[in-house]
């Protein structure tokens, strides 16, 4: 069995692989920059300013919900609280993507 494997070669290969992994992890840490992205509130769409196209681009708001939101805005003039949309389908899912200003 020992004639099939050169133990010195295997030992060198293991050490070399460990060294490469260690170096790549070490230098990889210096390139890592944590994302300090935008404030989540900046990514939300204002319900009162959004048009039909913006509303249907929001996840879980389809054509019917967008039309209902526009109808509510027409009837009440302005949406003052997101809870006014509570009767709409998927409200619990899309409320995180909207804001009222």
Query: Are 69 and 61 within 8 A, CB to CB?
Result: yes
Residue spans of the domains in the chain: they are 1-33, 40-99
Task: Report the distance separating Cα 44 and Cα 54, nearest Å.
Answer: 11
Q: Are 46 and 99 in contact (CB under 8 A)?
A: yes
Q: What's the average model confidence in pLDDT over 80-88? A: 93
Per-residue DSSP letter, 3: T
Query: What average pLDDT does this structure show over 91-97?
Result: 92
Residue 35, pLDDT > 70, answer: no
Cα torsion 72, 52, 59, 37: sign: negative
- Considering only CA atoms, which of 100, 85, 97 is closest in space to residue 60? 97
Q: Quote the pLDDT of residue 9.
A: 82
């Amino acid at each position: 069995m020992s004639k099939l494997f050169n133990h010195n070669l295997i030992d060198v290969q293991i050490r070399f692989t460990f060294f490469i992994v260690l170096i790549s992890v070490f230098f990889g840490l210096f390139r890592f920059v944590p994302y300090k992205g935008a404030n989540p509130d900046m990514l939300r769409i204002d319900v009162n300013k959004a048009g039909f196209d913006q509303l249907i681009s929001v996840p879980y708001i389809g054509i019917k919900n967008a039309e209902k939101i526009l109808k509510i805005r027409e009837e009440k003039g302005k949406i003052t609280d997101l809870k006014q949309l509570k009767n709409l389908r998927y409200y619990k899912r899309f409320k995180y993507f909207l804001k009222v200003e």
